[in-house]
């Protein structure tokens, strides 16, 4: 008999879903992956970064962020803002130009592409004729001058992208007006740079790569003066007085030329090679800026002695008697200088391949200014993440305070880029995102709003004896060294010991206890201390094999603990250490701060540790005799080559580039093997996978995937008891009953644990999540949450249920009998597997009532929201590309329906499943007050780009007309 659904009930259910659930990707945190271009608008105070993947990102005041993506899969090579406008132009490496605008819509601005254009040359002309190499956004706001690889300069009107052929400057026009002997010696080659006279916008300097520079009159269409350079040209800087020009060259020199408007200048007025007479690398960019007091600032990139320091990435700053070579750990993309109100240099902004560095030029010592965004999350490779919602104010302030003590070396000057208005409301709660790194550090980030801001850095290396040498810094200059190097930035891919890598993190926000687990079987228990303290870390070795014979560990050795007292700085300080034997990767941890217990698991088993009495309570070996891979260890095959590589780097310190790329390569290899071996990622094609029982002979069946503490009914239905639950890769669930002494006897009486239940799933799929539901079907609250009046007490009068989430299905068991009640199969013919699971609370915008649901991410990159306790599918959304294995593996859910995953090694994508809680940029950028200058000699003719609405094209002009009328009313 068919069952018919009532339409009214179904529509009400759909409305309920719409009230609770809504999927959006909201903001991208971190540093753009593979940046390729930098732009800045002084009038808008906006910074723009283009990437190799075709993304364009704009940043202003903290919270003011925009992101656009070109349809073309091509790198952004140049970014230019149109002066005094809300428009910018990007050049891609496919030779296409794109116009973007910041359009106001419903009170907020949005970044829109409003036109695209590809330069066209004469019929039959070679591609080099129209291959754009230099772009000048003219101060009139009406023109783009495009220099090409063939030496021509084309003039294009914007935003309509109409070519003004009568104004083009051909290479023949230039060659016909320079001395024959100069032309005979060299081909001009491509246009390297275009610069506008700061005192006369109708004069443009054209610089050719072979060294010639030509001052061109746009009105009279003829050259005014030639500068006959003989060295390959890299860059040009026109000084503010309009009378002098600086040029930098491939031999590491820069020259000064005088603008007379007369005869050709055959020799520069001055030529300098800053770093000596030995062969030097090219100075790729040079600028000279006047200062309020004293001589000007001279700033240039490159120019290092080729033999000794040719691999360094440096920007040199020279002012009066101060000379520093700012030494970066990755390749320099570009830089610019921000001026103070009195037109003196205020800050140097440098974009390098892995970070953005801002140097304060007004404070003695030129300290670095802390950035509120674009902070390199990946300063050491990210290995795990942990999110904590609604941090209590007291803990928040303490973490802030210890973080501030670490940041005393930063400049006190405020952030100098403040364009736009941040319209987003203040975050409703204080959230922390903790990231673990390959070098053994844990970084605390303020994840409450749009800007992911660094609060505090914890290093675990101090507790161990490692190969790291605290005085081993190949970038730090010594007294009297030439060039005068100074290490700048925090990106450092170099890791001395991969065993320090952080694998699991758990923070209790109510007690301040933190548990951190690593790659070599180490589990540290830390407590927040506002003062520095000298203490010994008490170590407890736990044998997870329990003395079983016939097993031989072939993996890495454990880390040696420092036996002498260690002076730990203010912050989280370790006081207890559990060392697993064999020292395999820690795959699961759980912290119960009310009972003062830590549970931990590896590929060999799991154990329980009492950090109050500093002793182990129980150990359970889950190893299957056939788990040979678990015995070898995931690092065994690569550790020796990593060690020899590290030793080689210590002997040969001249190649920072090699260190960067090699270490990143081997870090990726190690992480990939950990993922592939430890979590058994070797899958069949998705269309071939179906639910089926797995063999117990599969490798890593004993690997512990999840651990869970619960106060529930395990032995009988009348008395609840503390318990520990563990789920393995082979589909087994183990339950242990715990006897925790009362608070008065907690220091004297031991905690006792004994085995109580064991479940073996028929299909043997890995268990990835365990949740106990109370008598009302709600998940049990977090430890100490009820004590702090932030959650209601769990319902203990109804029947409790255990929800077991495996890779292939969700199954609900009654407690204490552990009988199956219901299940939901997620795996179908498409081969979905559950990769991440979390409990989240959802609510509508109008109702204060909250509902708990289960959030699941599959290996297909899909998000599923499942109701509790009925375990019915509510909604599902595509989120991550299924090919993005690292993105799926890195995903972490928040308590209120949001999530983060690594969209690149340096960027978190943030998403929301909730209609009530979403963090996203809400900002407005208005047109600057300066009016677009009118030039009667350049007639204005604008063709609307194909398919672009008129209001997009004219938004800037409309705003300017409004401002003009307002000014007229005032007069």
- Select from 619, 589, 582, 618 the least CA-distant residue to 603: 582
- Calpha distance 706→590 (Å, rounded): 8
Do the beta carbons of residue 101 and residue 956 sit within 8 Å? yes
- Select from 377, 158, 266 the least CA-distant residue to 940: 158
Do the beta carbons of residue 618 and residue 753 sit within 8 Å? yes
Mean pLDDT of 940-944: 30
- Residue 211 above 80 pLDDT? yes
The CB-side HSE value for 831 (13 A sphere, CA atoms) comes to 11
> What per-residue confidence (pLDDT) applies to 185?
53
**Percent of the chain topping pLDDT 90:** 73
Q: By three-state DSSP, how is residue 924 classified? A: strand
- Calpha distance 18→47 (Å, rounded): 37
Do the beta carbons of residue 246 and residue 196 sit within 8 Å? no
* Virtual torsion, Cα 626, 627, 629, 634, nearest 10 deg: -170
- Residue 35 above 50 pLDDT? yes
The CB-side HSE value for 857 (13 A sphere, CA atoms) comes to 25
- Residue 937 above 60 pLDDT? no
Identify any residues that bridge with 225 across adjacent strands, giving them in sequence order.
Answer: 215
Mean pLDDT of 472-485: 66
**Percent of the chain topping pLDDT 70:** 85
Residue reference for tokens 């070795």 = 541
Give the pair of three-digit tokens for residue 663.
Answer: 């270490």
Do the beta carbons of residue 403 and residue 395 sit within 8 Å? no
Among 23-37, 557-571, 650-664, name the one with the lowest average pLDDT. 650-664
Give the pair of three-digit tokens for residue 264.
Answer: 């050709």
- Calpha distance 24→495 (Å, rounded): 36
Confidence of residue 665 (pLDDT cuts 50, 70, 90): very low
Mean pLDDT of 397-423: 95
Confidence of residue 623 (pLDDT cuts 50, 70, 90): confident
- Residue 187 above 60 pLDDT? yes
More confident residue, 303 or 261: 303
Q: For the segment 557-577, what is each residue's pLDDT rounded down to a tens digit?
A: 999 999 999 999 999 999 999
Give the pair of three-digit tokens for residue 90.
Answer: 């990007």
Residue reference for tokens 């339950």 = 735
Do the beta carbons of residue 766 and residue 731 sit within 8 Å? yes
- Select from 569, 628, 603 the least CA-distant residue to 702: 603
> What per-residue confidence (pLDDT) applies to 456?
97
Regarding pTM above 0.85, the answer is yes
Q: By three-state DSSP, how is residue 421 classified? A: strand
- Calpha distance 130→191 (Å, rounded): 11
Give the pair of three-digit tokens for residue 138.
Answer: 């003219």
Do the beta carbons of residue 108 and residue 423 sit within 8 Å? yes
Residue reference for tokens 């003590």 = 405
- Calpha distance 712→709 (Å, rounded): 9
Q: By three-state DSSP, how is residue 590 classified? A: strand
* Virtual torsion, Cα 326, 327, 333, 339, nearest 10 deg: -20
More confident residue, 927 or 801: 801
> What per-residue confidence (pLDDT) applies to 945?
31
> What per-residue confidence (pLDDT) applies to 279?
94
The CB-side HSE value for 939 (13 A sphere, CA atoms) comes to 6
Q: What angle do CA 25, 29, 31 make, to 5 degrees?
A: 135
**CA distances for 460 relative to 322, 446, 521, 575, angstroms:** 37, 21, 14, 12
> What per-residue confidence (pLDDT) applies to 72?
86
- Residue 343 above 90 pLDDT? no
- Residue 936 above 60 pLDDT? no
Three-class HEC string of 264-288: CECCCCEEECCCCCCCECCEEEEEE
Q: What angle do CA 386, 867, 448 make, to 5 degrees?
A: 30
> What per-residue confidence (pLDDT) applies to 829?
53
**Region 833-926: CATH code:** 2.30.29
> What per-residue confidence (pLDDT) applies to 60?
97
**CA distances for 965 relative to 67, 825, 968, angstroms:** 32, 66, 5
Domain ranges of the chain: 833-926
CB burial of residue 228 (10 Å; 0-12, 13-18, 19+): buried
Give the pair of three-digit tokens for residue 604.
Answer: 């060999």
Identify any residues that bridge with 350 across adjacent strands, giving them in sequence order.
Answer: 335, 357
Mean pLDDT of 156-168: 93
- Residue 933 above 50 pLDDT? no
More confident residue, 692 or 392: 392
The CB-side HSE value for 301 (13 A sphere, CA atoms) comes to 18
- Residue 676 above 70 pLDDT? no
> What per-residue confidence (pLDDT) applies to 612?
96
Among 113-122, 179-188, 259-268, 757-766, name the one with the lowest average pLDDT. 179-188
Rg of the Cα trace of the chain? 32
Q: For the segment 213-224, what is each residue's pLDDT rounded down to a tens digit?
A: 999 999 999 999
Computed from CA positions of residues 11, 17, 18, 23, in that sequence, does the dihedral angle turn out positive or negative?
A: negative
Confidence of residue 50 (pLDDT cuts 50, 70, 90): very high
Q: What angle do CA 196, 118, 57 make, to 5 degrees?
A: 70
Mean pLDDT of 600-608: 97
Cis peptide before 150 (omega within 30 of 0): no
Three-class HEC string of 132-153: EEEEEECCCCCEEEEEECCCCE
User: What does pLDDT average to over the chain?
Assistant: 87
**CA distances for 683 relative to 277, 602, 627, 688, angstroms:** 60, 22, 18, 10
Confidence of residue 6 (pLDDT cuts 50, 70, 90): low
CB burial of residue 959 (10 Å; 0-12, 13-18, 19+): middle
> What per-residue confidence (pLDDT) applies to 488?
95
Mean pLDDT of 14-40: 94
Going by the DSSP 8-state scheme, the letter that residue 959 receives in this structure is: H
Mean pLDDT of 176-202: 85
- Select from 193, 153, 155, 187 the least CA-distant residue to 170: 153
> What per-residue confidence (pLDDT) applies to 921?
94
Confidence of residue 374 (pLDDT cuts 50, 70, 90): very high
DSSP for 312-354, please give it.
-EEEEEEETTEEEEEEESS-EEEEEEEEPTTSSEEEEEEEETT
> What per-residue confidence (pLDDT) applies to 628?
63
Mean pLDDT of 488-505: 90
> What per-residue confidence (pLDDT) applies to 413?
94
Confidence of residue 233 (pLDDT cuts 50, 70, 90): very high
Confidence of residue 478 (pLDDT cuts 50, 70, 90): low
Mean pLDDT of 80-100: 96
- Select from 92, 38, 49 the least CA-distant residue to 301: 38
Residue reference for tokens 């548990």 = 515
Residue reference for tokens 């919270």 = 63
> What per-residue confidence (pLDDT) applies to 547?
72
DSSP for 574-607, please give it.
EEEEEEEES-PPP-EEEEETTTTEEEEE-SSEEE
- Residue 617 above 90 pLDDT? yes
Q: Looking at the chain, how many residues does it have?
A: 971
- Calpha distance 503→588 (Å, rounded): 9
- Residue 124 above 70 pLDDT? yes
- Residue 196 above 50 pLDDT? yes
Do the beta carbons of residue 413 and residue 360 sit within 8 Å? yes
- Residue 773 above 50 pLDDT? yes
Confidence of residue 550 (pLDDT cuts 50, 70, 90): confident
- Select from 725, 789, 798 the least CA-distant residue to 757: 725
- Select from 926, 831, 822 the least CA-distant residue to 869: 822
């Amino acid at each position: 008999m068919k069952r018919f659904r009532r339409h009214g009930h179904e529509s009400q259910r759909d409305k309920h879903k719409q009230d609770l659930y809504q999927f959006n990707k909201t903001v991208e945190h971190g540093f753009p992956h593979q940046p390729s271009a930098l732009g800045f608008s002084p009038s808008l105070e906006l910074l723009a970064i283009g990437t190799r993947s075709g993304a364009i990102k704009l940043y202003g005041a903290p919270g003011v962020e925009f992101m656009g993506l070109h349809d073309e899969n091509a790198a952004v090579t140049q970014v230019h803002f149109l002066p005094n406008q809300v428009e910018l132009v990007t050049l891609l490496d496919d030779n296409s130009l794109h116009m973007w605008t910041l359009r106001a819509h419903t009170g907020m601005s949005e970044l829109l592409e409003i036109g695209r254009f590809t330069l066209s040359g004469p019929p039959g002309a070679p591609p080099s004729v129209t291959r754009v190499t230099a772009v000048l956004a003219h101060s009139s706001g009406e023109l783009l001058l495009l220099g090409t690889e063939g030496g021509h300069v084309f003039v294009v009107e914007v935003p309509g992208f109409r070519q003004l052929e009568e104004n083009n400057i051909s290479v023949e026009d230039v060659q016909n007006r320079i001395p024959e002997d100069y032309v005979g010696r060299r081909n001009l080659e491509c246009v390297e740079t275009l610069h506008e006279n700061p005192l006369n916008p109708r004069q443009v300097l054209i610089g050719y790569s072979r060294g010639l520079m030509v001052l061109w009159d746009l009105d009279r269409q003829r050259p005014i003066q030639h500068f006959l350079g003989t060295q390959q040209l890299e860059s040009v800087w026109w000084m503010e007085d309009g009378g002098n020009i600086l040029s930098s060259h491939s031999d590491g020199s820069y020259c000064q030329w005088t603008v007379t408007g007369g005869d050709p200048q055959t020799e520069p007025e001055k030529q300098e090679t800053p770093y000596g007479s030995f062969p030097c690398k090219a100075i790729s960019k040079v600028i000279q800026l006047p200062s309020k007091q004293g001589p000007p600032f001279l700033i240039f990139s490159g120019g290092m002695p080729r033999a000794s320091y040719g691999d360094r990435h440096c920007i040199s700053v020279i002012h009066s008697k101060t000379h520093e070579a700012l030494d970066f750990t990755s390749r320099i993309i570009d830089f610019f200088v921000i001026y103070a109100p009195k037109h003196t240099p205020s800050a140097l902004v440098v974009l390098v391949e892995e970070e953005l560095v801002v140097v304060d030029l007004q404070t003695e010592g030129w300290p670095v200014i802390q950035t509120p965004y674009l902070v390199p999350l990946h300063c050491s490779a990210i290995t795990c993440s942990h999110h904590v919602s609604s941090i209590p104010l007291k803990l928040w302030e303490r973490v802030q305070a210890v973080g501030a003590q670490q940041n005393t070396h930063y400049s006190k000057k405020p952030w100098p880029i403040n364009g736009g208005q941040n319209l987003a409301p203040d975050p409703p709660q204080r959230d922390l995102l903790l990231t673990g790194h390959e070098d053994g550090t844990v970084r605390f980030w303020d994840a409450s709003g749009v800007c992911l801001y660094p609060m505090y850095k914890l290093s675990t290396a101090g507790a161990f004896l490692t190969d790291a040498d605290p005085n081993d810094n190949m970038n730090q200059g010594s007294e009297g060294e030439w060039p005068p190097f100074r290490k700048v930035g925090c990106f450092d891919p170099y890791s001395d010991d991969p065993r320090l890598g952080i694998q699991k993190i758990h923070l209790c926000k109510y007690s301040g206890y933190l548990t951190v687990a690593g790659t070599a079987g180490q589990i540290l228990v830390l407590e927040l201390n506002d003062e520095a303290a000298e203490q010994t870390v008490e170590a407890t070795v736990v044998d997870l094999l329990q003395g079983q014979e016939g097993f031989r560990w072939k993996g890495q050795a454990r880390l040696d603990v420092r036996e002498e007292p260690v002076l730990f700085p203010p912050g989280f300080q370790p006081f207890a250490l559990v060392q697993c034997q064999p020292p395999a990767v820690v795959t699961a941890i759980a912290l119960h701060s009310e009972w003062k217990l830590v549970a931990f698991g590896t590929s060999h088993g799991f154990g329980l540790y009492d950090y109050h009495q500093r002793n182990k309570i129980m150990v359970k070996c889950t190893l299957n005799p056939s788990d040979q891979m678990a015995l070898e260890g995931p690092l065994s095959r690569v550790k020796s080559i990593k060690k020899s590589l590290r030793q080689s780097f210590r002997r040969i310190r001249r190649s920072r580039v090699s260190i960067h790329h090699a270490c990143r390569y081997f870090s990726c290899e190690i992480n990939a093997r950990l993922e592939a071996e430890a979590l058994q990622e070797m899958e069949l094609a998705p269309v071939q996978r179906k639910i089926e029982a797995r063999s117990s002979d599969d490798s890593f069946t004993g690997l512990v995937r999840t651990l869970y503490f619960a106060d529930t009914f395990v032995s009988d239905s009348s008395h609840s008891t503390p318990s520990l639950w563990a789920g393995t890769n082979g589909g087994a669930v183990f339950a242990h009953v715990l006897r925790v002494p009362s608070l008065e006897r907690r220091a004297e009486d031991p905690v006792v644990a004994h085995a109580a239940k064991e479940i073996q799933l028929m299909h043997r799929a890995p268990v990835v999540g365990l949740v106990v539901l109370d008598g009302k079907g709600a998940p049990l609250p977090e430890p100490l949450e009820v004590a702090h009046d932030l959650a209601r007490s769990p319902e203990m009068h109804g029947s409790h249920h255990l929800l077991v989430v495996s890779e292939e299905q969700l199954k609900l068991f009654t407690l204490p009998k552990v009988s199956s009640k219901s299940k939901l199969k997620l795996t179908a013919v498409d081969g979905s597997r559950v990769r991440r699971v979390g409990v989240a609370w959802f609510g509508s915008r109008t109702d204060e009532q909250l509902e708990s649901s289960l959030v699941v991410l599959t290996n297909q990159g899909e998000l599923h929201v499942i109701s509790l306790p009925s375990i019915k599918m509510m909604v599902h959304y595509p989120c991550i590309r299924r090919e993005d294995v690292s993105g799926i593996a890195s995903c972490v859910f928040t308590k209120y329906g949001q999530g983060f995953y690594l969209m690149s090694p340096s960027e978190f994508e943030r998403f929301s499943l909730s209609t009530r809680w979403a963090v996203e940029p809400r900002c407005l950028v208005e047109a600057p007050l300066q009016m677009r200058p009118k030039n009667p000699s350049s007639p204005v003719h604008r063709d609307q780009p194909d398919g672009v609405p008129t209001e997009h094209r004219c938004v800037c002009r409309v705003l300017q007309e409004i401002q003009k009328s307002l000014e007229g009313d005032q007069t």
